[in-house]
Every structure is written in structure tokens, then in C-alpha cells.
């Protein structure tokens, strides 16, 4: 029996069958290739209304139920200090970005934390205003994923379809046993490792490559009604017993990673050049 595909008015594919092909490569929504210097005006009230509708969509979905069970099981009675999100994109214009923001808001409710931070170098000023209205703190500086998590309490880091270099930088900045305090929601490490030659992955994103054998991944079924929003997304955590078995040499790290020929990764230098 073949699977029929339907699309909504925004061009999103809607799932009409429970059957999924394991061998079919996942499609990642394209990120903006260029950073636009000109500010785009956004109707803030209309955008917030659409974001709230996206939250309502997620709250009744089996997808969010699975996320909620997984995150709650990992957190248990521990306190979530903060939720940090990088790479939401244009939440005022893009339907995919709005649903990913809705996911962030749902995570906030699941964890019962008030401290939520977000950064994307392409945010318009009006989109920053939208986030502030939703009680999300905007990180102004582009540190390229260099964010230090808590030593004692849990930090949830959400990187929706972000470049692997951003995830690699985040791991570099927290390289050590304190990764046990991190729940990382991003593109599947397993998918990355299995679908790319080891020598390339080790060279380009060594921190992902090296931590992969010592983390645990919880795959999430791509069963939300729009299949191009959360595809290839997985929950990763770093069990204390695995990390503490690693010797001190494993945790030696070099200078901040540098990347060549990577158009998908927006660096702070790109932003500086844009503002000259």
C-alpha cells in the first residue's frame, strides 16, 4: 500500500501513514544562506498569535508526549537551571521556526523553569521583541555555540536543525565530566556518525565524534503532523558513570575549533563584516 502525501496551505507535508522508511535520508529545512542587513518589520501581535497556535498544535500531539516522557525521566527530581536555544531562525516569518519556538515553550512548561535563553545571529529586532514578550531572554552576542552550562544543575540545550559545527563548539566549551548535567536536543549524532566517513567527521567535528561512544541517544519518532520540522531530531545525554571512566587525557582540548568552507555556519566574523 503506497503512502499518499498531503500538504497544508504553507507547503508542509502532513503524515497520512504510520509507516516510515528507515533508509530514506531525512530532509533538513534549508537555513538562510545569507544574512540580511536590512530589518524586516514583523506584525508582532499576529506572529505571537501564530506561535500560540503552534503551541496548541504541539500540546495535543503524540510527538510532544514522547518528548515529555523522555525529558521528565531524565530530569526526575533534579532542577533544570535553564533551557538554552540556538538557531531558531526567523520566527516572525517562517512556519518551521515558529513550531520550533513552540517546542521551546513547551519544554519550558515540561521542566517548570523560568530561565529560557535564545540566540540566532539572523534575528530581526522585532523577533527579539517577540521573544522578550514570551519571557525568553535574547542572547545578543554571537559566541558561535560557546556557552558554559551549570556545574551542578541541569541545562537543556536545544539546537533545532543547527549546523554540526555549532554543536561541536558547544561540546568544546563544556568539555569535561560536567556534560553529565546536559540534555542536548539536536540532530541525531547516530545519523551523523553512520552517514559520514569517520575520517571526515573526526577532522571536521572532533568533539561530536569523540563523545559519541560515551553518550546515550534517545531517538524521537518523526510522527508530528508536519514531517519537515522535527525530522532527525534526537535527545542526547551523557551518563555520569560513562564519563567518569574516561581518563584525564580524553578531556584535554585545544583552542576553539575553526572551520573552513562552511557556508551553513554563521560566525561572529561574518557578523562583524556585515556591520562594517
User: Which tens digits make up the pLDDT trace of 41-80?
Assistant: 899 999 999 999 999 999 999 999 999 999 999 999 899 9
At 100 the three-state DSSP class reads helix
pLDDT tens digits, one per residue of 111-157: 999 999 999 999 999 999 999 999 999 999 999 999 999 998 999 99
Q: How much helix, strand and coil, in percent to the nearest 5, is found in the chain? A: 40, 15, 45
- The two beta strands, 233-237 and 216-219, are antiparallel
> Mean per-residue pLDDT for 150-166?
95
User: Using an 8 Å Cβ cutoff, are 54 and 101 in contact?
Assistant: yes
At 161 the three-state DSSP class reads coil
**Nearest Cα residue to 170 out of 179, 11, 51, 161:** 179
**Average model confidence (pLDDT) across the chain:** 86
Which pLDDT does position 264 carry in this prediction?
61
What is the pTM (predicted TM-score) of this model? Answer: 0.83
Task: Report residue 173 as a C-alpha cell.
Answer: 566549551
User: Using an 8 Å Cβ cutoff, are 74 and 237 in contact?
Assistant: yes
Could you give all domains of the chain from N- to C-terminal order, each with its CATH number?
50-275 (3.40.50)
Task: Report residue 226 as a C-alpha cell.
Answer: 508536519
Amino acid at each position: 500500500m503506497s503512502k499518499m502525501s498531503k500538504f497544508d496551505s504553507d507547503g508542509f507535508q502532513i503524515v497520512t501513514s504510520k509507516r516510515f522508511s528507515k533508509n530514506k535520508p531525512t530532509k533538513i529545512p534549508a537555513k538562510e544562506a545569507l544574512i540580511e542587513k536590512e530589518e524586516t518589520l514583523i506584525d508582532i501581535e499576529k506572529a505571537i498569535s501564530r506561535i500560540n497556535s503552534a503551541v496548541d498544535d504541539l500540546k495535543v500531539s503524540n510527538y510532544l508526549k514522547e518528548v515529555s516522557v523522555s525529558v521528565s525521566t531524565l530530569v526526575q527530581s533534579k532542577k533544570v537551571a535553564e533551557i538554552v536555544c540556538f538557531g531558531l531562525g526567523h520566527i516572525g516569518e517562517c512556519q518551521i521556526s515558529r513550531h520550533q519556538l513552540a517546542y521551546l515553550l513547551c519544554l519550558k512548561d515540561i521542566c517548570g523553569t523560568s530561565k529560557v535563553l535564545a540566540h540566532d545571529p539572523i534575528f530581526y529586532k522585532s523577533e527579539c521583541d517577540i521573544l522578550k514578550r514570551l519571557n525568553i531572554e535574547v542572547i545578543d552576542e554571537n559566541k558561535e555555540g560557546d556557552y558554559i552550562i551549570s556545574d551542578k544543575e541541569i541545562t537543556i540545550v536545544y539546537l533545532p536543525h543547527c549546523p554540526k559545527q555549532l554543536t561541536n563548539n558547544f561540546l568544546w566549551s563544556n568539555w569535561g565530566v560536567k556534560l553529565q548535567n546536559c540534555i542536548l536536543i539536536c540532530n541525531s549524532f547516530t545519523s551523523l556518525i553512520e552517514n559520514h566517513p569517520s575520517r571526515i567527521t573526526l577532522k571536521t567535528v572532533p568533539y561530536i565524534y569523540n563523545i559519541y561512544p560515551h553518550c546515550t541517544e534517545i531517538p524521537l519518532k518523526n510522527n508530528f503532523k508536519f514531517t519537515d520540522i522535527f525530522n532527525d531530531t534526537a535527545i542526547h545525554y551523557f551518563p555520569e558513570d560513562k564519563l567518569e571512566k574516561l581518563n584525564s587525557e580524553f578531556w584535554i582540548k585545544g583552542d576553539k575549533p575553526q572551520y573552513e568552507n562552511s557556508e551553513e555556519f554563521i560566525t561572529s566574523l561574518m557578523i562583524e563584516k556585515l556591520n562594517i
